[in-house]
Structure 1
């Protein structure tokens, strides 16, 4: 039996579906940590990103801060925060790490979504007498939604992958089979944990890709005939 088959057998074993470390429980912990972290990051990053995109001010600072945040190693930051905050604040340290990881993608998605809008559309809305709030909610937010969803998509995938390190500080999640299996040399268990995380990330990516496609306004989508011609390869030339 090869390692992949052994990993599948480990996942399907009844012992992995009951008890304190059952896969459904670990999945729930993983999703909870991901959701909490991304929601907190969104509450911080989206208003700032929308303000930058609407006013056109502060973009350089946002790019610099986002680039610096992307360069921070998540595991090292989590360990540092645990040491600084103490062992009684481990959940706060881990969530802070994941929030900082999610902010750059959310921030970029928020302000690039508004910056990508043709300025003539904004000027036309102002010429019609719309207030700045009306322009934001009725024009900028709907038109910038596809790029915003792209930022949310990127943030979620990064956090889903990184939340596996939460098991190092005993917060559970799908990283537990990986971290427990490495010292025990249970490579089937390690591979099974990696497969589950990868499948979860792929499912979330597919759902958000569909949502991002659906968020594109109908008037901005290319006609079906154009999409079909773009998808079809050019016919090969027949030699004379």
Structure 2
């Protein structure tokens, strides 16, 4: 791909990875509208590395605190609200890991424009419905094992293209009584282990065949997705309490309808 294509795709990934609007739905737009070829697995891994770096930098203090508390809960048997949250994040990662290992090929087979358009539309309506009825009673530190498991199942369901990992997990968290800010923070924090594991899994195959890698495009992709994702996280957490999820849900509905028109037209 050209450097312009790499830059635009990485920019799209960075701005949409952590918003509840489906990054996969946006990444098919260049191919549908402009006829660009698929960017390939190597570039996908690179731009996800950039997004991962962004969320880890933004939540660096929380990560250090959670990791320290988690280690103390293991070796010193010290329990705290931070160690509890760390365990809940780990627990919530299990469903997506299991589903990813056993049905990843099946989900890849669903990666069509029609499926992505349909799920973008359906889960946009669901996000709006849940946000309107959300009680917003608890923060992420009050997460129970049952809630973590259910949010984890939502993350696993987001393996279906177009669903949106952040959209599915925030929708589940809001349905379970989280505040909007807590739903977003829990979603962002639980993205770290799953992106690490998924990226590592894909990277193993790439290392075995370095010829698949365009190092210049990958470097540009990492840098662009990192900066755009960092900006996106900061802005989203700053406005979510005031705006709610409705603007993102409405956007998803129009995007889904637009994609359906392009696919079926």
- Please report the TM-score for the alignment, with normalisation by the length of structure 1: 0.34
Quick check: which has more Rg, 1 or 2? 1
**Highest relative contact order (Cα 8 Å, sep 6+), 1 or 2?**
2
- Please report the TM-score for the alignment, with normalisation by the length of structure 2: 0.32
